[in-house]
Every structure is written in C-alpha cells, then in structure tokens.
Amino acid sequence: ISLADLRALRIDQIKHQLMSVKDFKKVVVNAVDYDDVKVFVIALIEAIQAGQQLMFRSAAALTKVLGGIGDQALLTRDDLIQEESPHGGLIMVGSHVKKTTEQLQALEQNKEMAFIEFNTHLVLKPDAFREEIDRVIQQTETLLAAGQSVAVYTRRERLDLGDDRQEEELKLSVQISDAVTSIVQRLTIRPKYLIAKGGITSSDIGTRGLSVKRATVAGQIKPGIPVWQTGEESKFPFMSYVIFPGNVGSKDTLKEAVDILEG
C-alpha cells in the first residue's frame, strides 16, 4: 500500500472518529510533525463540511495549517514596537514550573530591569493581601511612568496547606490568579510592551486584564512564543502582547525576548 493510500485511509478513520463525537466528548490529537497535522486538518474539514460542530483548544500548528500560512522569520523590535513610548515594558510572571523560575533568574542578570515580588502567600490574610496588591500596582505604575521596565513575579515557593486541603489550595490559587490579572486590569500607565509568563497567566491577562476580544497574531518573538497585537477594543489598543508559556524555551529565552523588545 502506498503512502498516499495510507494517508487517505487515515483521513477516513479520523473523519469517522470526529463524526462520532457528541455531548462535549474530547478528542486529543497527537501530531509528530506538520504532515500529521495536515492529514488531521483534511479529515477535520471533511467532518465540518458533513455538519459536525467542534470546539478547539490548540497550539499554533493547527491554525497555521488551517489558514495555509507559510513559515516566516521571527519578529524583530521594529515589528514589535511601532511607536516609541516614554514608559517601560512590563513582564508578569505567574507560572511556577521550574523552567519559569530559571528563566526569571536569568532575567535578573539584566541590571536595567526592576523586579517586584508579589507575596501571594498573603492570600491567607485578606486585608494584607489587598494591601499587597495595591503596593505592587503603585510601585509598578511609578516605575513604568519613569521609563523603567518592570518584572512582577509571584512568590516562587508554592503555597502548601498540607494533606487533604487540595480543594482549599485550588480556591486560593484562583484568588491569586485573579489578583495577578487585576494588577494589569487596574493599570493606568500603558506599558511599552507586555509579556505574560505562564499558560493560565497569559490567558487571564489577555482576556480579562487587557479585555482583548480580537487580536492579530503578529508572529513569534522566539520559537513557540507568539505575539498578539491587541485589538482596538482592548485596554491598551495595538500593543505587543507576548504570550510566553511556562515550559517553553531555554533558561535564557525570557531574557533574550526582553532584550529584543528593549532594543
């Protein structure tokens, strides 16, 4: 059997699988390379044309193949900073995976950056937590207005309440995520650019902190790190918003991305 026949067979199998999905059942697509994605997309289009309705949560590979988008060079500072700003840039670091902490430590080698630790463990003391949020916002705005780029990062030690309190920890983690988002939500100073480090962090900051309804994906600043140009309806229209997943890149990738944006 030829490779073409094998792919045709796979397409029929995948289409059949997709057509059988109902009641919000999940399908996980494990693609090794872009050829796998292309086979899946052909089956996907055939299923949609046959009346199937599906929702997606995906990385960029799916949209790239669906849109027939070719490879392009990584973004440069000229692509990312359209108008020079008197304000500094802002990096929000929420992810607690080991790689993020290593990348934050590498970024700290940049002596021109300011760093603010957000003591998220104060979530256990509501009044003190509100004061801590206010402190972080005030310091961030003062520095940004003075032209200083700032990295705001959550306390690196994980909040551990002990055995059999996982549900309570989860509720507190949601409060912490809301607090990180509120820092961006309440900013009155428009940063030169914004980087959000972490999957949930970048999602919440984009949709709730920046109120983005529609954005243009400009490309990637580094492999696997997309950049949005925010829409006109957002809190800071037409700003470069870097979505930096927690486990992507080497220990120096965050520092390198900031170096590109700082110029």
As assigned by CATH, the class of the 77-262 domain is: alpha beta
Element (H, E) at 244: strand 240-244
Predicted local distance difference test score (pLDDT) of residue 204: 93
Asked if 218 contacts 240 with a C-beta cutoff of 8 angstroms, the reply is yes
Rounded Cα distance, 182 and 180, in Å: 5
Could you read off the pLDDT tens digit of each residue along the chain, which spans 263 residues?
456 666 667 888 999 999 999 999 999 998 888 888 999 999 999 999 999 999 998 877 898 899 998 888 999 999 999 788 999 999 999 888 889 999 999 999 999 999 999 999 999 999 999 999 999 999 999 999 999 999 999 998 877 777 777 788 788 888 999 999 999 999 999 999 999 999 889 999 999 999 999 999 899 999 989 999 999 999 999 999 999 998 899 999 999 999 999 98
Predicted local confidence at residue 36, as pLDDT: 87
For tokens 């990295």, name the residue.
151
Check residue 1 and give its pLDDT.
46
First-to-last CA distance in the chain? 54
Are 109 and 151 in contact, with CB atoms under 8 Å apart?
no
pLDDT attached to residue 231? 95
93 touches 245 (CB < 8 A): no
For the chain, residues classed under CATH 3.40.980.20 are 77-262
Q: What is the dihedral of CA 104, 108, 114, 118, to 10 degrees?
A: 40
Burial 124-159 (b: 16+ CB within 10 A, else e): eeeeebeebbeebbeebbebbeeeebbbbbbeeeeb
Q: Which two tokens stand for residue 139?
A: 């310091």
